[in-house]
Amino acid sequence: MNKKSVTEGRRAVITIRGLKKFFGKNHVLNGFDMDLYEGETLVIMGKSGSGKSVMIKCLIGLETHDEGTINIMGRNMENVTEDELNEIRTEVGFLFQGSALYDSMTVRENLEFPLRRHVEKMGHFSDATPLVLEALESVGLAHAIDLMPEELSGGMKRRVALARTLILRPKIILYDEPTTGLDPITSKEIVLLMKSVQQKYKTSSIIITHDVDCARFISDRMILLVDGINYAEGTFAELDASTDPKVQAFFKS
Interface ranges with ligand ATP (CB under 6 A):
23, 26, 28, 46, 48-54
Instruction: State which residue, 168 or 194, has the beta carbon closest to Mg ion.
Output: 194
Q: Is 65 helix (H, G, I), strand (E, B) or coil?
A: coil
Instruction: State which residue, 53 or 204, has the beta carbon closest to Mg ion.
Output: 53
Residue 111 contacts residue 125 (beta carbons within 8 Å): no
State the residue number with the nearest CB to Mg ion.
Answer: 53
Q: Supply the minimum distance, in Å, between the C-beta of residue 47 and ligand ATP.
A: 7
Q: Supply the minimum distance, in Å, between the C-beta of residue 180 and Mg ion.
A: 9
Q: Supply the minimum distance, in Å, between the C-beta of residue 229 and ligand ATP.
A: 13
Instruction: State which residue, 53 or 138, has the beta carbon closest to Mg ion.
Output: 53
Half-sphere exposure (Cβ direction) of 35: Cα atoms closer than 13 Å: 14
Binding partner of 28, given Mg ion, ligand ATP, none, CB within 5-8 angstroms per partner class: ligand ATP
Q: Supply the minimum distance, in Å, between the C-beta of residue 118 and ligand ATP.
A: 27
Binding partner of 46, given Mg ion, ligand ATP, none, CB within 5-8 angstroms per partner class: ligand ATP
Binding partner of 243, given Mg ion, ligand ATP, none, CB within 5-8 angstroms per partner class: none
| Angle formed at CA 37 by CA 241 and CA 56, multiple of 5 degrees | 85
Instruction: State which residue, 51 or 114, has the beta carbon closest to ligand ATP.
Output: 51
Annotate 37-70 with b (16+ C-beta within 10 A) or e (fewer).
beebbbbbbbeeebbbbbbbbbbbbeeebeebeb
Q: DSSP letter at 5?
A: H
Residue 42 contacts residue 207 (beta carbons within 8 Å): yes
Q: Name the residues that contact Mg ion, by CB under 5 A.
A: 53
Binding partner of 110, given ligand ATP, Mg ion, none, CB within 5-8 angstroms per partner class: none
The 10 Å Cβ neighbour count of residue 85 is: 14
Instruction: State which residue, 76 or 97, has the beta carbon closest to Mg ion.
Output: 97
Give strand pairing partners of 95: 175
The 10 Å Cβ neighbour count of residue 144 is: 20
Q: Which amino acid is at 1?
A: M
